[in-house]
Structure 1
Amino acid sequence: MNWFFLIIAGLFEVAFAACLGKAKEAAGVEATYWYIGFLLCLAISMILLVKATQELPIGTAYAVWTGIGAIGTVLVGILIFKEPATFWRMFFIITLICSIIGLKYVSN
């Protein structure tokens, strides 16, 4: 169950980064809504990360959490914000995914 909390926390990390990107593109009240979304996603992500670290090693949990956030944020950047999907970006995203999977398998 703690791994589930950790994965969901990582997805909310992606969401709060996406909210920041959308807030940068918006103005006025719309930007305010995106910043509120950022704060909500940030709070949920942190609460779930704390819950996950009650049973998982902090080093592993934090690495997986930031890895999910990094991978997800790059993919959101490519799919939503039209950032380039170069060979080297995708290569290093794949190596990061392999590292996260490896941490899952070597953790108790």
Structure 2
Amino acid sequence: MSKPMTKTQLVAALAEEMGSDKKAAGAALDAVCALITREVSGGGAVTLPGVGKIYCRERPEREVRNPATGEKFTKEADKVVKMTIAKALKDSVNG
């Protein structure tokens, strides 16, 4: 498995794809990330066409166990960010 693309590499590839400079591509990437963060943290969801859907899901209060000690305790309800991958992306990876 190869190493994940860094932000610098992503900005450079985005700039090349857009036919723009790295500064504009970096600003576009930062704007998209800020928009996704704001929408998902507010309880909404964002669909990236061809990539997937990013959303927040609430988990109820539940009983958990510390594997080191075996001690059981109640974990409070919390939220977790999830992503469902689009079928088009799955098909392109497997096909």
TM-score (norm 1): 0.29
More RCO (CA 8 Å, sep 6+): 1
Higher radius of gyration, 1 or 2: 2
